[in-house]
Amino acid sequence: MIFRKVAVAVATAAAAMLVLSSCATGDDAVATGGTFDFVSPGGQTKIFYDPPSDRGTIGKLTGPDLMTEDATVALSDFEDKVVVLNVWGQWCGPCRAEADDLEQVYEQTRDSGVQFLGINVRDDTKNKAQDFVVDNKVSYPSIYDPSMRSLIALGKGYPTSVIPTTIVLDRQHRVAAVFLQELLAEDLLPVVERVAAEEPAQQ
């Protein structure tokens, strides 16, 4: 009986710790809601979601701006824009390799109503992540999220171990395409241009 009481007490304490550890603080990225369920048929690394009416939305996504102290950046800041999300880390070789390609596509499409937004993960040292942005001449903002809490927003089943990942959202912020790999500009540009050219959803 004593053993059972001890076991129950330990389980209760563990559950309480789990709840506490999952609570976001003011410094953490926030991610809630959304209807997108991630599926990669046959282990594909390039997945496209069409027609647009079948696309799911990601959750609320907001967090500390990597480059600006005491500022936040959110997906909702880019209403009615195509948004290209890129999950990256300065420690990630493929992230370094694709950085100039992503910047190139951003520069080529920004006048078409396209916004890029990075999500920096697993970088406990903010300065190193900031140096990555400066060294690679990345001109679009990133959420600083070393704990990877923001990735909850990317949908049920999203593989958080796959970095880099790039997600193309349409103007209603529904998931149009997912790339689970390093990208070249020639891979990403036609997809972003196609989504940007889609007819706006009927109100």
| Residue 19 belongs to some domain of the structure | no
Q: Which pair of tokens denotes residue 27?
A: 């410094």
Alpha-carbon distance of 77 to 75, in angstroms, equals 5
| Residue 128 belongs to some domain of the structure | yes
**pLDDT for the residue 21:** 28
Per-residue pLDDT, averaged over 164-173, amounts to 97
**pLDDT for the residue 201:** 59
Angle at 98 between CA 66 and CA 183, to 5 degrees: 120
Instruction: Indicate which CATH number applies to the domain containing 117.
Output: 3.40.30.10
pLDDT tier at 17, thresholds 50, 70, 90: very low
| Residue 1 belongs to some domain of the structure | no
118-162 pLDDT per residue, tens? 999 999 899 999 999 999 999 999 999 999 998 888 988 888 899
**Among 62-66, 67-71, 94-98, 148-152, which is the least confidently predicted range?**
148-152
| Residue 156 belongs to some domain of the structure | yes
With contact defined as beta carbons under 8 Å apart, do 52 and 176 qualify? yes
| Residue 53 belongs to some domain of the structure | yes
Domain containing residue 104:
26-196
With contact defined as beta carbons under 8 Å apart, do 31 and 153 qualify? yes
Give the contacts of 32 (CB within 8 A, at least 6 positions apart).
59, 60, 152, 153
**pLDDT for the residue 33:** 62
- Residue-wise over 19-41: b if at least 16 C-beta within 10 A, else e? eeeeeeeeebbbbeebebebeee
Q: Which has more pLDDT, 27 or 130?
A: 130
170-203 pLDDT per residue, tens? 999 999 999 999 999 999 999 999 999 998 755 4
How many domains, in total, are found in the chain? Answer: 1
| Residue 83 belongs to some domain of the structure | yes
Per-residue pLDDT, averaged over 43-72, amounts to 94
**pLDDT for the residue 177:** 97
**pLDDT for the residue 43:** 86
| Residue 20 belongs to some domain of the structure | no
Residue 179 DSSP label: E
| Residue 16 belongs to some domain of the structure | no
Q: Which has more pLDDT, 25 or 130?
A: 130
Per-residue pLDDT, averaged over 96-117, amounts to 98
Alpha-carbon distance of 54 to 155, in angstroms, equals 15
